[in-house]
């Protein structure tokens, strides 16, 4: 063994299978020890090294695989374990090392911290696989107590547990328990997904703080809820600025195929230019109540905030294939301030989500978004290509409050309506472009008994020939609309003059009568759907009626090749 200076943590930009970086500010002395599967390096086993080495040490694994006879236990230790060294004494990691469970009834790695400041663990370039723990907590990794755990380029595959088949996290007072999944860490997918016989196929989080950066949670399953992530007890789930996409995709459960969050969970996820945050291809399926294919949120105090996220191509059977919000929870989706490049009108998306029966036929009510006795605020977002039997785009019920602004609703398909406002729900819709959707009957059905069930203003609201705009006995209010031929709802009958609707470009041409058409009411967002300046009122260009353009897009002459409002 030899003593070297070690940084306390790896730089956040470390990528999969890269050489371990051993330089950085704030370094302190520690011991480096090598372990191989034959036991011929510095210690006979990884466990012996963990138990013996002083705080701040690093254990370097010099074999492709270790078959463990029992869980690797880390109890109140400050240590780094790095896989992928080609030989004892090798200076750099060049690959990954697999820790394979050769036992049943426990997680591959079991971590406990019960003394403040005592637990600090980095796992680097490792795969944790093949746990068989069907009646216990944690498959790949079990973490209980308080401390900080950082995973860099760690794969957690093919594990089974009752709860938390990939990772089980439980914070215990006084806490906190922080876990960072970074630098290409994957929970599920490559070797095979993790399987929870109850809840939390990929990640189970009770009260912990989880950071996601260039992370993939994929191909996991749970029999009940949270195929990708099951979060509750004020769990915090946040994304970081690490280079690389973060994806929660291809997971399945009866409820919350991608994410199931309850009991005061706080989720804040954000894309950045060149870094996509997506929740896609998840499925809510099962015999009981398959709801919330992408995201399921419930309970007062549970919050989901997503800046520039893509919630797309998820599936459920009953309702909420993309986003399901109920029982006092709240959801906010927007483009944020730095999630996407200026002019990117694909920044935030709820797209391609489907409600289908097992035989593939369309089913359910509310494919894109379902809100029931809860709150949802959606702005600067495309809601498109969703499909269900009815209400392919949106459904609000119970005492829901639904707010939409600077939103494009297009290319959605239902056997019946496009949007349902039910129960005592209320919906405030402003600056929307609704066009090129397929449905039968009315686009929006308002059966809600709320005093102001539907307010729709400053929007382009077009329906196919032969269809109606609004039905139902609920209280409605409309202002400054372009509703196409016939001038329904008191709207203008002129054509919208989209730039190229056939190719999904719903920005207005410079000859559109929707330019400078509506009054400013105060409090408008400073940007439109694409992040370009909103409420442009140029000197020398007379207003038609007011400075606000109808719909989700504002004319911005200086930033577009077409000189609108010349």
Task: Kindly state the average pLDDT of the residues 397-416.
Answer: 98
Give the residue, 535 or 471, on which the prediction is more confident: 471
The burial of 338, by beta-carbon neighbours within 10 Å (0-12 exposed, 13-18 middle, 19 or more buried), is given as middle
User: At a CB cut-off of 8 Å and minimum separation 6, what does 502 contact?
Assistant: none
The whole-number pLDDT of residue 510 equals 87
Beta bridge partners of 133: 161
Please determine, for residue 7, whether its predicted confidence score (pLDDT) is greater than 90: no
Task: Kindly state the average pLDDT of the residues 265-281.
Answer: 94
Where b means 16+ CB within 10 Å and e means fewer, 54-70 reads eebbbbbbbbeebebee
> At residue 48, what are phi and psi to the nearest 5 degrees?
-60, -40
Q: Are 240 and 209 in contact (CB under 8 A)?
A: no
Where b means 16+ CB within 10 Å and e means fewer, 457-476 reads bbbbbbbeeebebbebebeb
Q: Are 127 and 97 in contact (CB under 8 A)?
A: yes
> pLDDT tens digits, residue range 71-87?
999 999 999 999 999 99
Percent of the chain with pLDDT over 90: 84
> pLDDT tens digits, residue range 42-75?
999 999 999 999 999 999 999 999 999 999 999 9
pTM of the model: 0.92
Give the residue, 366 or 538, on which the prediction is more confident: 366
Return the structure tokens found at 63.
């074999």
The burial of 337, by beta-carbon neighbours within 10 Å (0-12 exposed, 13-18 middle, 19 or more buried), is given as exposed
DSSP code of residue 452: T
> pLDDT tens digits, residue range 359-386?
999 999 999 999 999 999 999 999 999 9
Helices and strands, number each (H, E), in the chain: 1, 51
Please determine, for residue 541, whether its predicted confidence score (pLDDT) is greater than 70: no
Please determine, for residue 18, whether its predicted confidence score (pLDDT) is greater than 50: no
Please determine, for residue 540, whether its predicted confidence score (pLDDT) is greater than 60: no
């Amino acid at each position: 063994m030899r003593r070297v200076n070690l940084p306390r943590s790896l730089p956040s930009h470390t990528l999969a299978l890269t050489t371990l970086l051993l330089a950085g500010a704030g370094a302190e002395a520690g011991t480096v020890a090598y372990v191989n599967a034959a036991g011929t390096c510095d210690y006979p086993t990884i466990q012996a090294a963990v138990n013996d080495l002083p705080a701040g040490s690093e254990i370097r694994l010099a074999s492709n695989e270790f078959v463990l006879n029992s869980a690797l236990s880390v109890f109140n230790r400050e240590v780094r374990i790095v896989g992928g060294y080609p030989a004892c004494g090798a200076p750099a990691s060049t690959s990954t090392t697999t820790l394979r469970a050769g036992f049943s009834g426990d997680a591959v790695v079991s971590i406990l911290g019960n003394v403040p400041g005592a637990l600090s663990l980095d796992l680097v370039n490792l795969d944790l696989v093949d746990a068989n723990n069907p009646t216990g907590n944690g498959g790949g990794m079990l973490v209980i107590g308080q401390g900080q755990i950082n995973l860099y380029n760690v794969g957690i595959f093919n594990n089974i547990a009752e709860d938390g088949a990939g990772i089980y996290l439980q914070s215990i007072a006084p806490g906190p328990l922080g876990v960072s999944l970074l630098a290409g860490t994957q929970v599920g997918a490559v070797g095979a997904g993790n399987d929870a016989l109850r809840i939390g196929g990929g990640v189970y989080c009770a009260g912990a703080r989880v950071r996601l950066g260039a992370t993939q949670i994929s191909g996991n399953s749970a029999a009940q809820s949270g195929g990708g992530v099951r979060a509750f007890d004020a769990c915090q789930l946040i994304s970081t600025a690490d280079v690389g996409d973060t994806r929660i995709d291809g997971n399945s459960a009866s409820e919350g195929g991608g994410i199931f969050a309850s009991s005061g969970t706080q989720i804040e996820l954000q894309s950045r230019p060149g870094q996509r945050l997506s929740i896609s291809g998840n499925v809510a399926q099962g015999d009981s109540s398959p709801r919330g294919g992408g995201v399921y949120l419930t309970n007062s105090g549970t919050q989901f905030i997503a800046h520039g996220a893509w919630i797309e191509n998820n599936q459920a059977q009953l309702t909420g294939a993309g986003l399901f919000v109920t029982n006092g929870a709240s959801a906010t989706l927007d483009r944020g301030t730095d999630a996407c490049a200026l002019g990117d009108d694909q920044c935030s998306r709820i797209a391609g989500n489907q409600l289908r029966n097992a035989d593939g036929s369309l089913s359910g009510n509310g494919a894109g978004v379902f809100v029931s006795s809860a709150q949802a605020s959606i702005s600067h977002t495309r809601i498109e290509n969703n499909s269900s039997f009815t209400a392919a785009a949106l459904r609000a019920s119970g005492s829901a409050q639904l707010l939409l602004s600077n939103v494009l609703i297009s290319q959605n398909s239902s056997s019946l309506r496009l949007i349902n406002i039910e129960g005592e729900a209320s919906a405030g819709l402003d600056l929307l472009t609704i066009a090129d959707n397929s449905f039968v009957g009315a686009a929006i059905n308002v059966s809600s008994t709320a005093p102001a069930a539907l307010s729709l203003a400053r929007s382009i609201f077009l329906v196919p020939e032969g269809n109606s705009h609004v039905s139902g006995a609920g209280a409605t209010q409309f202002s400054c609309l372009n509703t196409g031929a016939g001038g329904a709802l008191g709207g203008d009958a002129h054509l919208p003059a989209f730039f190229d609707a056939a190719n999904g470009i719903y920005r207005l041409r410079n000859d559109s009568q929707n330019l400078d058409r509506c009054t400013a009411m105060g409090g408008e967002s400073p940007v439109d759907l694409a992040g370009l300046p909103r409420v442009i009122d140029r000197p020398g260009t007379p207003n038609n009626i007011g400075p606000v353009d109808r719909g989700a897009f504002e004319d911005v002459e200086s930033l577009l090749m077409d000189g609108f409002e010349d």
